[in-house]
């Protein structure tokens, strides 16, 4: 089964999904992706940003969920990412998404993330739930078909690459007290007109590190998407629940200051490896 987007309008030419430069390969049961690891998707210690991994798995899990939900469309309801080993790769990260449950209103998937050619030891594990929605005109059209042996191909057609740090490219602004905010722009919107679920996960990642300190890395992310983040600015406000010298638990609320309303509630764990 190939999952092909036949809607040329999304994503637009300058979009975070193109800059990720992912390649994908779909079979009837698994959606795989490969993410090139460059300095722009890594932190200062050379580890891939946890939010970028979340964006990758949100995209491939969403692609598989949408193919299953067709002719309906889907929206991410919740996403959890758990890092088992430091997110280090020489060349690329790969991810494989599988369906664990497909109901009429919800599709639940899991994904494992690997470094380079090692497919035995997952660096991270992800689960995600998608709500099944009625199709809108703007939604991509994902066509399922073809053979199981399709080659790797670009996720969104014409790819580009980050020219700067990925979070900077998304427009994240770092404020006092760990707060991070971003304005919605075409670059980071999904096909429903809200900020991409993976970018919101990245915002939570950024707020976690901003509040615990740059020597922490986010090792757990759990987001529940409550409403679309559309107007902005979208403000990630962290509250530290617990902190020890080596790890900290943070509650992060994402507020759409332009409405105003809560768009996402999240819990994250930061750790010093």
Q: Give least dist CB 244 to other proteins, A.
A: 8
Among 66, 69, 219, 252, binds other proteins (CB under 8 A): 219
Whole-angstrom distance, CA of residue 128 vs CA of residue 64: 11
Q: Give least dist CB 74 to other proteins, A.
A: 14
Per-residue contact flags (x/-) with other proteins for residues 124 to 163, judged by CB under 8 A: -x-x-x-x--------------------------------
Whole-angstrom distance, CA of residue 235 vs CA of residue 218: 18
Q: Which of 7, 4, 33, 10 is nearest to 21 (CA)?
A: 33
Shorter beta-carbon distance to other proteins: residue 13 or 103: 103
Shorter beta-carbon distance to other proteins: residue 29 or 105: 105
Whole-angstrom distance, CA of residue 131 vs CA of residue 38: 33
Q: Give least dist CB 20 to other proteins, A.
A: 24
Whole-angstrom distance, CA of residue 172 vs CA of residue 188: 11
Q: Give least dist CB 121 to other proteins, A.
A: 8
Per CB under 8 A, contacts with other proteins among 108-127 are: 108, 110, 122, 125, 127
Phi-psi region of 213 (alpha: psi -120 to 50; beta: other; left: phi over 0): left
* Helix ranges restricted to H, 117-213: 166-170, 197-212
114: which strand partners? Answer: 94
Name the token pair of 247: 């790890």
The torsion defined by the Cα of 184, 190, 195 and 199, in degrees rounded to 10, comes to -110
Note whether 30 binds other proteins by CB under 8 A. no
Per-residue contact flags (x/-) with other proteins for residues 59 to 98, judged by CB under 8 A: ------------------xx-x-xxxx-------------
Shorter beta-carbon distance to other proteins: residue 183 or 267: 267
How far separated are the first and last CA of the chain, in Å rounded?
A: 39
Name the token pair of 150: 């399709």
Task: Give the residues lining the site for other proteins (CB under 8 A).
Answer: 77-78, 80, 82-85, 100-101, 103-106, 108, 110, 122, 125, 127, 129, 131, 219-220, 222, 224, 226-227, 241-242, 246-247, 249, 251, 262, 265, 267, 269, 271-273
């Amino acid at each position: 089964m190939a999952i092909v987007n036949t809607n040329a309008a999304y994503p637009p030419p300058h979009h975070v999904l193109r800059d990720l430069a992912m390649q994908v390969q779909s079979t009837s049961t698994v959606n795989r992706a490969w993410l090139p690891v460059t300095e722009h998707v890594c932190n200062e210690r050379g580890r891939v940003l946890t939010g970028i991994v979340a964006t990758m798995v949100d995209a491939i899990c969403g692609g598989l969920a949408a193919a299953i939900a067709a002719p309906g469309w889907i929206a991410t309801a919740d996403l959890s990412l758990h890092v088992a080993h430091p997110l280090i790769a020489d060349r690329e990260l790969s991810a494989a998404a599988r369906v664990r449950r497909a109901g009429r209103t919800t599709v639940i998937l899991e994904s494992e993330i690997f470094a380079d050619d090692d497919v035995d030891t997952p660096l991270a594990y992800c689960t995600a739930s998608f709500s099944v929605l009625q199709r809108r005109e703007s939604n991509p059209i994902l066509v399922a078909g073809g053979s199981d042996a399709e080659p790797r191909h670009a996720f969104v057609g014409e790819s580009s690459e980050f020219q700067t740090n990925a979070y900077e490219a998304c427009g994240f602004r770092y404020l006092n007290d760990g707060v991070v905010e971003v304005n919605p722009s075409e670059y980071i919107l999904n096909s429903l007109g809200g900020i991409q679920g993976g970018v919101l996960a990245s915002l939570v990642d950024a707020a976690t590190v901003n509040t615990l300190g740059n020597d922490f890395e986010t090792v757990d992310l759990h987001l529940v998407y409550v409403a679309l983040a559309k107007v902005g600015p979208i403000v990630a406000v962290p509250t530290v629940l617990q902190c020890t010298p080596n790890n900290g638990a943070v509650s992060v609320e994402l507020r759409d200051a332009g409405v105003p309303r809560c768009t996402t509630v999240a819990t994250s764990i930061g750790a010093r490896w």
